[in-house]
Structure 1
Amino acid sequence: MRGERALIARHAGTVLVGQLAVMAFGVTDTIIAGRYSEHALAALSVGAAVFVSVYVSLMGVLQALLPIWAELHGGGRGGEVGRSVRQSLYLAAIAIMVGMVILLLPGSVLQWTQVPADMRGEVEAYLAVLAFALAPALLFRLFSTLNQSLGRPQLVTRLQLGSLVVKLPLSIWFTFGGAGLPAMGLVGCGWATLCVNWTMLGCAIWLLRSRPFYADYGLWKRIEAPDWQQIRKFARLGVPGGLAVLVEVTSFTLMALFIARLGTAAAAAHQIASNLLAVAYMTPLSLAIATSARVSFWLGAGDAAKARHACRQGFELTAVCALFYAAVMAALRNELANVYSDNPAVIAMAGALLLAVALYHFADAVQTFCVFVLRCYRVTLAPLVIYCTMLWGVGLGGSYLLAYRGLGPWAAMQSPLAFWIMSAAALALTALLFGVLLRWTMRQRAR
């Protein structure tokens, strides 16, 4: 029993280090933009929200392939992994094209959400640079998903840590200028991300070609013509998974865009809260990835009892870590806000938001774990319906009413706190429903 828990913890710990290195990109950009100007930080809040919505949604489609490759690995069918990975490149190409179009043409989204006109130009310029950073980011995600499914995330983590060493100085240099380079402001952070993403992809390709570990999977055989049966299998798992992530992320993104109309102080405070939440989220995400890899491995090996055991061990670790992070955010809310800004109004508002963020994080951790394990059992449509109802309906719709129109006996708050309160409540309901669904699914499989 302890062996399975330790294996999940080691896998998750390795993934977490890499994920935190990548999240440090966002933390670095947030701090640098905040020190450059309050306007740049507010523009980053909007631009990052749009990019993350696109990237994470498309990443969800590719990440959903993990159970397929983990099952092949667990069933001892390594020879089929290479062909499956090559076929996934067709799905990745479609995802890249869709994402680039959205990032290059964000005007209608910014106008619909009433982002202030003086902010749009900087946001659009930032997104235009990130559009060309999307392809290497998604292809590197395929490399990461493959390694996670095979239980070998170490190489991915090393690359992610190394990339941070490059990202930090580039972001500072491009943003503030120096050594003959003019200051680019927020767009400089985008250019730094583009350079780092292409470098990481180049290193990943070199590793795939040179490391003996990958030789048995036949990854570099000539790519076959599209196998539409295989691609449909990917789509049945990946598209609902990606849409579910889209609903979750866009509810978060639209929150940022709606808050932008409350002014730069509100947008900056929301960006601080969002960034801290994103950092904390990496732990339950890493545990969900590690646990789903183990659950799928045992399902592929034909041992449903060990799959259930792995699920229980992973859930216990996730719940304990989530409680710890929530307590830290609540207790140190003002000190954490002060790291990002020296504006008293922004610090005070961000500190208030972090109380709601603590509740949000615990619910987010539970629902993330459940939805990843449900994918191992090929349950994807029910979570999508729950996400749409709870996050868009109760969370985002209720937030907008509470903030700007009033909700029942409560008057309009005209504060970003309204969005965090309602979103936390919606996510708590989502976590409860996912927990019930996962328990029912595992019982059905046991029978």
Structure 2
Amino acid sequence: MNLADFFTHSKSLLKLTYPILIAQLIQNLMGFVDIVMAGRVSSIDLAAVAVANSIWLPITLTVYGLMMALAAIVSQLSGSSKYEEVVEKTYQTAWIGLVLGLSLVGLYYILMPIIAPHVTLEDKLAGLMFDYLGFIIWGAPGYCLYLVLRNYSEGLSYTKPTMIISVIGLLVNIPANYIFIYGKFGLPALGGAGCGIATALVYWSMFISMLSYCFYSKVLKQANLFTAFYWPVWHEIKNILTLGIPIALSLLFEVSLFAIAAIILVPFGALVVASHQVALNFTSLVFMVPLSIAMATTIKVGYAVGNNNLKQARDYTLYANILGLLLACVTAIFTLLFRKDIAGFYSTEEPVIELAANLMLLATIYQFSDTIQVVSAGALRGYKDTKSILYITFVSYWLIGLSVGLVLCVTDWIVPKMGPYGLWIGFIVGLTAAAILLAWRLRIIQQRLAFEIQRTTTST
């Protein structure tokens, strides 16, 4: 490894990474603000927001994954200086986003009367939850269209707008929560359900802000969205969906794995579930670091591939993994040293703190494999190889990780049942399997492209 090259590539990656990381953390902070402000009304309001978010989060992540395809497409096209195609692909993705956002609104009002009678929550809790979802769903079109413009900008290597507009979203979120939760300026007090209106307003404000940035920005003029208009073209939309659906499903597999883990632990009691959630919440925040590096890697690798610079694409992949592992060392040491203090921030109960701290100890191990798997997946998106990510994550998370976790958690087949520790060991095994398989697939793609270039050069 050339140290000078490492610092050069790392500096370039970090320039793209830090705005994405700050934006991701702000998104998490908005969820934290919702929980805290709703919790000040009552525990029922807090529970309603938490349950509604557990339904809404997989939907938003699936949409997010689908729209991430655009960043890979745009980065490759910009690497080839095909800016007219950048605009066309962005419009086709916008049509997908618009239809998807409106469909979510329609589906809610079709399914809600069917599902609501079968919900077994107490009446007030169920009412608040459905009110929250009924409000937030109107933000779905704005959220989808915002993601289109965000990935268009990031694909062109401009990530700072994402950070700035996330700050705008937070500045809208806090006063909007205050107004609609507590009923200010003559409006009714909606309690936890008011967070739904606030979040919908955040989505639309972020979309309008990003649209304004795209209109006035000088740096985006090379691929100006407002100099042409494109109606939907089915085969283009199909190509984008073919690339985006595997990304969306792979994200869903990962989220659902951790969600089902909480359900598996329910028989072990509330203390165990609470400890699991504390450790999971903190490690999810830590995961924002390698995830942001992975998103920057997608952009850099895509641009290099579009520019037919396969060496640069390989270099960015290698140096992104090294950078990610170095930062994982930092976060792992921090977790190791302060895990009890971190757990104490979430809970005042000593048994919860003790168990959560022990689970965080296991989390320090999987931070390394988690880094390799997410950065490798980011590089594969840059190469526009997304189906392999879907297959590998399904096998690694569900067939390997969950199976090992279940066996160790609830059976005596190998060792006496380990409870939550067994499940977290399953996470380590699953993420390690994903890291190995994704890195292997990445190597195959790199070798295949190099061979094709060599064969083309030889034949000419």
TM exceeds 0.5? yes
Q: In the alignment, which of 439, 442, 446 is matched to residue 442 of structure 1?
A: 446
Give the direction of change, closer, same or farther, for the CA distance of 1:332–1:345 in structure 2 (3 Å limit): same
Deviates more, 1:334-343 or 1:73-82: 334-343
Which residues of 2 match residues 307-346 of structure 1 at below 5 A?
307-346=313-352
What amino acid is aligned across from residue 14 of structure 2 in structure 1? Answer: A
Q: Distance in 1 between matches of 2:113 and 2:350?
A: 33
Which residues of 2 match residues 236-385 of structure 1 at below 5 A?
236-259=242-265, 265-385=271-391
How far 1:443 sits from its partner (Å)?
Answer: 2.2
Q: Distance in 1 between matches of 2:398 and 2:116?
A: 18
Identity over aligned residues, as a percent? 25
Q: Distance in 1 between matches of 2:349 and 2:187?
A: 29
- State the partner residue of 1:146: 152
How far 1:82 sits from its partner (Å)?
Answer: 1.2
Give the direction of change, closer, same or farther, for the CA distance of 1:366–1:258 in structure 2 (3 Å limit): same
Do residues 22 (structure 1) and 15 (structure 2) align?
A: no
- State the partner residue of 2:198: 192
Q: In the alignment, which of 105, 130, 135 is matched to residue 129 of structure 1?
A: 135
SS in structure 2 opposite 1:332?
Answer: helix
- State the partner residue of 2:9: 4
How far 1:373 sits from its partner (Å)?
Answer: 0.7
- State the partner residue of 1:80: 85
RMSD, aligned CA: 3.2
- State the partner residue of 1:432: 436
How far 1:274 sits from its partner (Å)?
Answer: 3.0
Q: Distance in 1 between matches of 2:399 and 2:130?
A: 28
Contact kept in structure 2, 1:39 and 1:264, CA below 8 Å: no
Q: In the alignment, which of 202, 205, 212 is matched to residue 208 of structure 2?
A: 202
How far 1:148 sits from its partner (Å)?
Answer: 1.0
Contact kept in structure 2, 1:60 and 1:242, CA below 8 Å: yes
How far 1:205 sits from its partner (Å)?
Answer: 1.6
What amino acid is aligned across from residue 233 of structure 2 in structure 1? Answer: D
Q: Distance in 1 between matches of 2:39 and 2:336?
A: 23
Give the direction of change, closer, same or farther, for the CA distance of 1:141–1:400 in structure 2 (3 Å limit): same
Deviates more, 1:32-41 or 1:191-200: 32-41
Do residues 217 (structure 1) and 223 (structure 2) align?
A: yes
Paired residues in the alignment total 444
Give the direction of change, closer, same or farther, for the CA distance of 1:424–1:46 in structure 2 (3 Å limit): farther
- State the partner residue of 2:455: none
What amino acid is aligned across from residue 294 of structure 2 in structure 1? Answer: A
Normalised to the residue count of structure 1, the TM-score between the two structures is 0.87
Contact kept in structure 2, 1:19 and 1:282, CA below 8 Å: yes
Q: Distance in 1 between matches of 2:74 and 2:184?
A: 47
- State the partner residue of 1:158: 164
Q: Distance in 1 between matches of 2:235 and 2:88?
A: 13
Summarize deviations over 1:15-48 as a string: whole Å, max 9, x none. Answer: 2122222221123334445666666555555433
Q: Distance in 2 between matches of 1:55 and 1:434?
A: 25
Unpaired segments ≥5 residues, structure 2: 452-460
Deviates more, 1:36-45 or 1:67-76: 36-45
Q: Distance in 2 between matches of 1:131 and 1:151?
A: 30
Q: Distance in 2 between matches of 1:178 and 1:243?
A: 41
How far 1:262 sits from its partner (Å)?
Answer: 5.7
Q: Distance in 1 between matches of 2:258 and 2:113?
A: 19
Q: In the alignment, which of 418, 427, 440 is matched to residue 423 of structure 1?
A: 427
Contact kept in structure 2, 1:42 and 1:264, CA below 8 Å: no
Q: Distance in 2 between matches of 1:120 and 1:261?
A: 24
Summarize deviations over 1:128-172 as a string: whole Å, max 9, x none. Answer: 333223322222111111111111111221111232233234445
SS in structure 1 opposite 2:220?
Answer: helix
Deviates more, 1:170-179 or 1:390-399: 170-179
How far 1:73 sits from its partner (Å)?
Answer: 0.8
Higher relative contact order (CA 8 A, sep 6+): 1
What amino acid is aligned across from residue 431 of structure 2 in structure 1? Answer: L
Contact kept in structure 1, 2:396 and 2:431, CA below 8 Å: yes
Deviates more, 1:312-321 or 1:189-198: 189-198
Which residues of 2 match residues 377-416 of structure 1 at below 5 A?
377-400=383-406, 402-403=408-409, 405-406=410-411, 408-412=413-417, 416=420
Q: Distance in 1 between matches of 2:230 and 2:396?
A: 41
